[in-house]
Amino acid sequence: MEVGIDIRGKISLNKIGLQPDKFEMLNFLKALYIEELIGNDEFENLKNKSYIEIMVSLNEKAKIFAKKLYEEKFGIPKVEYRDLNEDEIKELLPILEEYERETGNKCLQFLNEKFTIIAPHKKITTLLPVIEG
């Protein structure tokens, strides 16, 4: 099972996780421009965007540099905005059904809406032993 957070609706990418600050990202984009990994138009388009938005737009060579500089340091999450898949619906369905029974509020229709799915880029390993029984 993948560890993650499902949030109904679309979340601004600059609000997700710890990201490099704006000054650091501006310097990084300037370095990419100087090394001719991005052009002037791309620099102007990206200079006010979050790290995650920048990563979506960069070419593969520039992404390699960004990942080396920031991914290990900040642990940038993987973010998707999409419909829930079958497994996610199965996982949430009993929780929402219980919520409806307890509160009388109808919320199963939320499963048909789009969600922001936030998950770690790297697999999370168990740090503590699992105690069974």
Cut 0.85: pTM above it? no
pLDDT of residue 2: 56
Coil vs helix vs strand at 78: strand
pLDDT at 131 over 60: no
Sheet with strand 5-8: strands edge to edge? 5-8, 114-120, 77-83
pLDDT at 13 over 70: no
pLDDT one-digit tens code per residue, 42-57: 999 999 988 878 888 8
Q: Nearest Cα to 61, choosing from 37, 36, 26? A: 37
pLDDT one-digit tens code per residue, 60-82: 999 888 888 877 666 667 788 88
Q: Which residues touch 77 (CB under 8 Å, ≥6 apart)?
A: 16, 17, 118, 119, 120, 121
Paired with 114 in beta bridges are 83
